[in-house]
Amino acid sequence: MEQLTILGSTGSIGVSTLDVVARHPQRYRVFALTAHSQWERLLEQCRRFRPTVAVMVDAGAAAQLRGALADEGLAIEVLQGDAALEEVAAHGEVSVVMAAIVGAAGLKSALAAALAGKRLLLANKEALVISGALLLDAVRRSGATLLPIDSEHNAIFQSLPWQRQGCGALQPEAQGVRKILLTASGGPFREFSAEALAKVTPEEAVAHPNWSMGRKISVDSASMMNKGLEVIEACWLFNLSPDQIEVVVHPQSIIHSLVEYVDGSVLSQMGNPDMRTPIAHALAWPERIASGVPSLDLFAVARLDFEPADEIRFPALALSFAAMRAGGTAPALLNAANEVAVEQFLLGAIPFTTIPKVIAAVLDTVPAVAVESLEQLLEVDGEARRQAERWLQR
């Protein structure tokens, strides 16, 4: 029986993870569930999954949850605050940690799971973008197993030579890998003109054609920043340089990415666009378990299209490649500026097309330096946020 901590259990990935876990009660037990402030959703999940611990980051929400659980006679310990996230990620009774908090807020708990040698199922791509070097180093030193949940990276992992310890040990050249073809749906605005992009609303941006996801990643998908973050994520997970990654727009989202080998073979993983497939894959790897995802109906799909990404209408992609090439703290700057810009866009405070402008401005203002420590990266993250806000108020 594997004991599981799900960080961000009330989110889109968290809910899909619980859906898979519920199909295998003999195999998985939920040790801890965590959420930011949606205590009613967490209460619902506590009733159903009976974890040992529930964590609410928000103090008021923690008090509400504690009261409600006591009223129902459920003996579940409620912890509050950021530090509790790290505690349940590193807890001795836990073997598997799903890191599904959105944004930089998930960094410390993902790192705590890596340092504690857990099987780390990483959905929180921002953690790798900010601190890929530290996270991979922690995985290697502790003997943790790092498995990607992001559908593209999970597909790449499935198409690469067998890596016994999960991600982090690939030697691309030695193992005959020539390049990675990272697929992108193109998002809801794939065919929009630059003028039309300037007028899109948050509601239009979060309505993704193929995937149902949280609001932040949906906006990232619409701006292609999600693909930019994923390029950086792939570099860290698979030990690649940005030059070995090519982005391919594939609007049907059936092929989830491809690996090209030196002999000309191209391997890929396909399936319906449903996150329960990569989640089930990583939960059970190297075994296979049912995920609840229906069979792929190729006759209904009928055709698969491919086109290059448009870096003029979607500048976030080129900014991401440039940040990874610059190295050091540049990807952390890129991520922080994007988080500020997306939040402002979702609040209706800035146009969609201002998002990449904020990122470019922060990358121009704050010099990138070599990565030294987590504390330094958190400082860099804070500085980038201040500069992004200052630029927006100028």
Q: Which stretch binds ligand NAD (CB under 6 A): 70-78, 118-126, 251-259, 331-339?
A: 118-126
**Count of residues engaged in binding ligand NAD, rule: CB under 6 A:** 26
Q: Which stretch binds ligand NAD (CB under 6 A): 123-131, 262-270, 313-321, 331-339?
A: 123-131
Spatial CA neighbour of 302 closest among 265, 347, 254, 344: 254
Instruction: Give dist(CA 31, CA 25) in Å, integer.
Output: 13
Partner touching 36 among ligand NAD, Mg ion, none, CB below 5 to 8 Å by kind: ligand NAD
Instruction: Kindly tell me which of 12 and 158 has the beta carbon lying closer to ligand NAD.
Output: 12
Q: Which stretch binds ligand NAD (CB under 6 A): 121-129, 182-190, 315-323, 342-350?
A: 121-129
205 lies in the binding site for ligand NAD (CB under 6 A): no
Residues 249-288 that bind ligand NAD (CB under 6 A): 275
Spatial CA neighbour of 337 closest among 378, 377, 383: 383
Instruction: Give dist(CA 261, CA 44) in Å, integer.
Output: 47
**Smallest gap from residue 49 Cβ to Mg ion (A):** 26
33 lies in the binding site for ligand NAD (CB under 6 A): no
Instruction: Kindly tell me which of 100 and 180 has the beta carbon lying closer to ligand NAD.
Output: 100
Spatial CA neighbour of 235 closest among 355, 341, 326, 368: 326
Q: What stretches of the chain adopt beta strand conformation (E)?
A: 2-7, 28-35, 53-56, 77-80, 96-99, 119-122, 145-148, 177-184, 245-249, 255-261, 266-270, 307-308
CB 345 within 8 A of CB 94: no
Spatial CA neighbour of 204 closest among 351, 16, 10: 351
Give the binding site for Mg ion (CB under 5 A): 150-152
126 lies in the binding site for ligand NAD (CB under 6 A): yes
Helix H or strand E encompassing 377:
helix 374-392
10 lies in the binding site for ligand NAD (CB under 6 A): yes
Q: Which residues form the interface with ligand NAD (CB under 6 A)? A: 8-14, 35-36, 38, 57, 100-102, 105, 123-126, 150, 211, 213-214, 216-217, 275
